[in-house]
Amino acid sequence: MREEQHLTQDELGELLEISGKTISSWEKERSEPKIEMIEKLSHIFHCTSSQLLGENHDDFFTSPEEALQFILKQDMFAKFGGYDLDTMSQDEIIDMANDIAQFIKMIAKRHK
């Protein structure tokens, strides 16, 4: 995505307030960005974090009802707040559930 936006590693690093070497390390899969960086990247590239990570959502959520039930079961996530499910569109609820599931999957991979 960085190259599609015609950004150098250093330019993207400046936007994220990190070094271009860190971007290079991610691209060469020597390290992985932290969740906060994934969120910042998704805002820069105007996509969901799941899209950014190139994950297939076949095993995640497509219906808003299913997504909402999943979100409501995430006690730890609910404690941090900052979102209002009553004002979110169905697509936003699905995206949020998929993002949460993706983060859980990523963390599980990291700690295998």
More confident call, 5 vs 24: 24
- What's the whole-number mean pLDDT along residues 60-84? 81
Average pLDDT score over the chain: 84
pTM flag (> 0.85): no
CA angle, corner 67, sides to 62 and 84, nearest 5?
130
Reported as a pLDDT band with limits 50, 70 and 90, residue 55 is low
Reported as a pLDDT band with limits 50, 70 and 90, residue 107 is confident
More confident call, 92 vs 48: 92
8-state DSSP, 31: S
What span, in angstroms and rounded, lies between the C-alpha atoms of 72 and 2?
34
Report whether pLDDT(13) > 90: yes
- What's the whole-number mean pLDDT along residues 74-91? 80
Tokens standing for residue 66? 């299913």
- What's the whole-number mean pLDDT along residues 80-100? 84
CA angle, corner 95, sides to 92 and 100, nearest 5?
125
Percentage above 70 pLDDT, the chain = 93
